Every structure is written in structure tokens, then in C-alpha cells.
Amino acid sequence: MKATNNKKRLDGKVALITGATGGIGEATAKRFLEEGASVMLVGRSNQKLKETYERLCKFEKVAHFVADATDEKATEAAFEATVKAFGGIDILLANAGTEGKFAPIESLTLNGFESVLRTNVIGVWLSMKYAVEPMKKRGGGSMIALSSIAGMIGSPTMSPYIASKHAVFGLVKTAALELAASNIRVNAIGPGPINNRMMRSLEEQFNPEDPAAGHDFVLSLVPMGRYGTNEEVANLALFLASDESSYCTGSIHMIDGGFIAG
């Protein structure tokens, strides 16, 4: 009888996912679990975390922890809880993010600008900070930060979001250089229009009177003529989390239907 290799791509690996209750976060958690990883779901809403956990608990090797990605003590506690539950950390998906509100620079409040940067930049930085030591103890790891096509372009009225996503790319490149000698890889994913809650919000802000027209406007900018799915982003995250990407670090991986190519 021919032997079969049933080893999965993330067997024995432990992943922590921030923003785990969002569309991309949950889809990625599901893919990681399907491929054998143990997964800690982290989010700031206890109710949403419970709902996400209930949809994924059939996989058994999954737990959840309430923490705001911008709260240092809570973030540190989430990493400690993951190590206690699963024995270490091999993979980080820093996925917590917010789009904020659109407004011209002169109309923005300082609080409005700072709140987006706190979640999208400081939240990523804190997760990286507390992932380093657990990953070093495991002999290496993979950090994946969610940025956006917004990290590659400018766009009127979106200064907080644009600035924050540019910053994530810079942070990823710097962390990759710092951590390469410790066998910790650091990469970024830059999604374009993805069919989820955030895009509904962006469409409405592009055209408050007619969100459907906002959708059509965004779609007109995508050469492939469609939105991406949460699952497509999750598959890219799986590649970056696995040993298949063992020579990838400091890289920006766009998944945007050709949006940035033009």
C-alpha cells in the first residue's frame, strides 16, 4: 500500500491573530486551523470574539482573548495567555485596523487622526514587540502585518488611513532587518478592495448619498473587474505563515486585482 503524507502546512505551529473578529481575521484563523495550527483569537469585543470562537471551536485547538490592540498591557497579556495555552508563538497576524472617517486635512480633528494611527500603526508595533521573545524561544517565526493598497498611493480626504498604511510598510521593512538574524520573517499584505465590512464603510464614505455608486466607482479602478474575498487574503497569509515562504522577509505582497499596476 502506498504511504500517504498527511502532514499539514502549519502542523505544530501556534498563531496569534489580532482583529480576529473581522472578515479577514476570521477567514485566516479558519485557514490556519484547517492547516493544523493552534490559534489564539484576539479582539476588543467580547461578544464578537465569542461568536467567532463558536464558529471555529469545532477545530478544538482554538482559544480567544479580549484585548484592544492599542492597549500595551492588554496586548502583553494576550501574548502571555497564548504561550500559556499553547506553549509558544510561531505566527503573528497583526490584522486589527480601522478606516476612520474621510475629511479634508483642515477639517480633521487631532483625535480623529491619532485614533486611526493608534490602531493601524501602534497596534501593529505593539503586537510585533510582544511577539519577538516568544518567537526567539521557538527558534524563529513569521510576522504578517495587514496594510493596504492605501500604503502605496495617496487619496484626498483619507490622510489618516493613507499615512497609517504607509507607516506599516516602513515598520515591516525595518522589523525584517532587525529580526532576520533571529530567523523571524516579517512581511506585509496589501489588500485592495475586499468584499467585507470595511469596504461597505469606504463605499459609503466615497458616496454618502449613493453607496452603490461608491461601489461602482471603486470597482472601476480594479482591472480584474471584481472585489477580492476574505478567503483569498487568508490564502496569502497562509503562504506567508508557512515554510513555503521561508526566504521571504521584508516583502510587500499586494492582493488587489491589479489596482496598483496601473
Catalytic machinery residues = 161
CA distance 152 to 150: 5
Q: Which residue has the cell 490556519?
A: 32
Length of the chain: 262
Q: Helices 72-86 and 123-137: crossing angle, nearest 10°?
A: 30
CA distance 49 to 64: 7
Report which residue type is found at 190: G
- How far is CA 43 from each of CA 4, 15, 26, 87, rounded to the nearest angstrom? 38, 14, 11, 21
